[in-house]
Homo-oligomer: A and B are copies of this chain.
Amino acid sequence: MQVPRTVRIAIASDHAAFALKAELAVALAEWGHAVIDLGPFSDARVDYPDFGYALAQAVASGEAERGVALCGSGIGISIAVNRNPACRAALVSDPYSATLAREHNDANVIAMGARLIGPDQARACLSAFLAGPFAGGRHVARVAKLSHPTL
């Protein structure tokens, strides 16, 4: 089940996940969403933090409602996105984790690793992420604490 409306979704990667980004951008468009591709636009070597910060800014500003962050392992770009307190980036490698990320953490960014999971699994994770509702309830106060301004 997809989100039953057009969602503005930003997508960004590094060179290692360039091909996966292209595949997932096609899937998002097929599902009827508005895709904001933040690059890169070739597979030349880039630094994942640059693209993670750009994605985080797109979500923080409201330009995008959700984000998809990809790199070789998903680790580096997920760290970069989570530097921004407006983002809750969930690094996942299976659809159940993507569902939990929505249900418990109200995640607004999904991160995945192109070296670790294949394109079909990535598409299944993305679908679960977009379909999953936030459970609310006891999770609300915890999610609010993730926007804590001081550490």
A17 at the interface (CB under 8 A from B): no
A76 on the B face (CB < 8 A): yes
B97 touches A88 (CB 8 A): no
Give Cα A89 to B49, complex, Å.
14
Known A49-B142, A141-B47: A101·B83 in contact at CB below 8 Å: no
With an 8 A cutoff between CB atoms, is A44 at the interface?
no
A105 within 8 A of B: yes
A5: interface (CB < 8 Å):
no
Q: Does A90 contact B (CB under 8 A)?
A: yes
- The count of chain A contact residues (Cβ–Cβ below 8 Å) is 44
Within 8 A of B (CB), among A94-151: 94, 96-97, 100-101, 104-105, 107, 113, 115-116, 138, 141-142, 145-146, 148, 151
Q: Give Cα distance in the complex from A116 to B101, angstroms.
A: 12
A34-55 residues at the B interface, CB under 8 angstroms:
45, 47-50, 53
Contact partners of A93 in chain B: CB under 8 A: 93-94, 97
Complex Cα gap A138–B78 (Å): 19
- What is the minimal beta-carbon distance from A101 to any residue of chain B, in angstroms? 5
